[in-house]
């Protein structure tokens, strides 16, 4: 097993050693937190601010958790893909595979009191905030056990107790909302920041610049993160933006360009951004990332880009493989252990899918719940005006 991998990815140096020693000598999952310093693959490019150092402090347990969580996210998105093709997930389904490093790196740098708000490509961000895969799959399949009780769907995942504010379908509409979250944090003097994620497509929305202006004017603790996967739906960034240097588009707002496929770089940047935002107001982070799937499940993803490009990125820049190499090179786990971890993750995801498939669909009366917080007995009808009648609760 180890030798077969020699030619492809793993560093050759440690494999023979690992094979020589029995695996019981090394713990399977390392909970070792002694700091390891790793250099990010690329330097940071900055605008109006001193970039942070390339040396990132991490630990074995963190790297392993990165690997596991990213593998879980990747597996979840692939499962969602098959569920969609099996018509168990309907409507729109926007998958995040390829971009996992952004969600994971961000989580590593912040606390649950910091708020995150994102667009419709929110499945993995939800997981990163502590959401469960069972809730995620239930929501995708429209069951009551879903995180939004089946009434939101793929684009409306929320988790209030983890300060995850969704999940928004309209491109760019989350930018002003994110400023509102930051405003509330400043108002309540919470010493927390808000990460407002948007894509390269949304970067051309007027409301984003309105929100930037407001955030900069009032020194709101807002970090605006542009997840630049280089395609706004089906249009490449060079065809939709005059200036694709999204981190510079804040003009008076400082910006940082980050390799979004490197979870440690993301972590470093987010840590830096949080400190900056708490002291000096907003900052833009541009995460240079890539999505393997198309914009959504109805988009094959290959009409506006070549398959070679996709597989090229997958081979050279895949975030999970990068962490895998790091783990193996730092001797934290073997290739086999990582493979086992992936298998475990796969089983977990399959179990969650199976459980979600068994979950109940919402009752007809659920149509009328949660329209108002406190209803007032006004009546509402279903289409036929006889069968489905309810007093709005």
* Interacting residue ranges for another protein, rule: CB under 8 A: 115, 117, 146-153, 156, 158-160, 165-170, 173, 175-181, 183-188, 206-207, 210-211, 213-214, 217-218, 369-379, 389-391, 393
Q: Give 210's Cβ-side CA count (13 Å radius).
A: 12
CA distance 364 to 382: 9
Q: Toward another protein, which CB reaches closer, 242 or 374? A: 374
**Alpha helices, DSSP H only, in 281-334?**
307-317, 319-329
In angstroms, the CA 342 to CA 329 distance is: 18
Eight-class DSSP state of 18:
H
Nearer to another protein, 37 or 391 (CB): 391
Entry field: residues in the chain? 393
Q: Is 345 helix (H, G, I), strand (E, B) or coil?
A: helix
Q: How far is the CB of 351 from another protein (least distance, A)?
A: 23
Q: How far is the CB of 129 from another protein (least distance, A)?
A: 13
**Of residues 105 and 152, the one with the C-beta less far from another protein:** 152
Distance CA 179, CA 181 (A): 5
141 versus 214: smaller Cβ distance to another protein? 214
Helix/strand/coil for 98:
coil
Cβ proximity to another protein, 185 vs 289, nearer residue: 185
In the complex, minimum distance from the CB of residue 118 to another protein, in angstroms, rounded to a whole number = 13
Nearest distance in Å: CB 27, another protein: 39
CB of 254 to another protein, least distance (A): 20
Taking the CA atoms of 354, 358, 364 and 367 in sequence, report the sign of the dihedral they define. negative
C-beta closer to another protein: residue 56 or 181: 181
Pairwise CA distance, residues 83 & 185, whole Å: 38
For the bound state, the minimum distance from the C-beta of residue 214 to another protein, rounded and expressed in Å, comes to 6
Task: Using the structure block, give the residue that is written with the tokens 């993160």.
Answer: 225
Supply the minimum distance, in Å, between the C-beta of residue 186 and another protein.
7
**81 or 366, CB closer to another protein?**
366
> For strand 283-288 and strand 255-259, is the pairing parallel, antiparallel, or unpaired?
parallel
Shortest distance in whole angstroms from residue 145 CB to another protein:
10
Smallest gap from Cβ 54 to another protein, in A, equals 34
Among 25, 96, 106, 108, which Cα is nearest to 62's? 108
C-beta closer to another protein: residue 12 or 380: 380
Strands (E) across the chain are located at: 35-39, 45-47, 55-59, 115-117, 194-199, 222-228, 231-232, 235-236, 255-259, 283-288, 379-381, 389-391
Q: Which is nearer to another protein, 84 or 158 (CB)?
A: 158
**Min separation Cβ 250 and another protein, Å:** 15
CB-nearer residue toward another protein: 152 or 260: 152
């Amino acid at each position: 097993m180890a030798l077969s991998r020699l030619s492809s990815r793993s560093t050759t140096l440690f494999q023979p050693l690992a094979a020589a020693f029995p695996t019981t000598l090394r713990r399977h999952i390392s909970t070792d937190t002694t700091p390891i310093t790793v250099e990010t693959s690329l330097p940071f490019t900055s605008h109006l601010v001193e970039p942070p150092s390339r040396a990132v402090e991490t630990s074995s347990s963190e790297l392993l958790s990165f690997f596991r969580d990213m593998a879980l996210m990747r597996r979840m998105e692939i499962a969602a893909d098959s569920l969609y093709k099996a018509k168990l997930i309907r409507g729109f389904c926007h998958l995040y595979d390829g971009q996992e490093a952004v969600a994971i790196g961000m989580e590593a740098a912040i606390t649950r009191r910091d708020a995150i708000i994102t667009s419709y490509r929110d499945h993995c961000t939800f997981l990163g905030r502590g959401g469960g895969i069972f809730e995620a799959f239930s929501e995708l399949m429209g069951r009551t056990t879903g995180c939004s009780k089946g009434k939101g769907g793929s684009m409306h995942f929320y988790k209030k107790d983890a300060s995850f504010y969704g999940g928004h379908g309209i491109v760019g509409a989350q930018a002003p909302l994110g400023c509102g979250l930051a405003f509330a944090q400043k108002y309540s003097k919470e010493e927390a920041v808000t990460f407002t994620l948007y894509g390269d497509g949304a970067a051309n929305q007027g409301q984003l610049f309105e929100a930037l202006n407001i955030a900069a004017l009032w020194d709101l603790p807002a970090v605006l993160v542009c997840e630049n996967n280089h395609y706004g739906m089906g249009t490449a960034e060079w065809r939709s933006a005059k200036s694709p240097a999204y981190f510079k588009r804040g003009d008076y707002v400082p910006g940082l360009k980050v390799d979004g496929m490197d979870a440690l770089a993301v972590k470093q940047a987010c840590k830096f951004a949080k400190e900056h935002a708490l002291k000096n107001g907003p900052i833009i982070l541009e995460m240079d990332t890539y999505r393997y799937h198309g914009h959504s499940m109805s988009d094959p993803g290959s009409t506006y880009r070549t398959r070679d490009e996709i597989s090229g990125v997958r081979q050279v820049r895949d975030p999970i493989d990068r962490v895998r190499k790091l783990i193996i090179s730092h001797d934290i786990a073997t290739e086999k252990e990582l493979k086992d971890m992936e298998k475990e993750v796969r089983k977990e995801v399959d179990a969650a899918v199976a459980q979600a498939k068994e979950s109940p669909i919402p009752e007809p009366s659920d149509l009328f719940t949660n329209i108002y917080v406190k209803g007032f007995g006004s009546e509402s009808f279903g289409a036929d005006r006889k069968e489905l009648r309810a007093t709005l609760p």
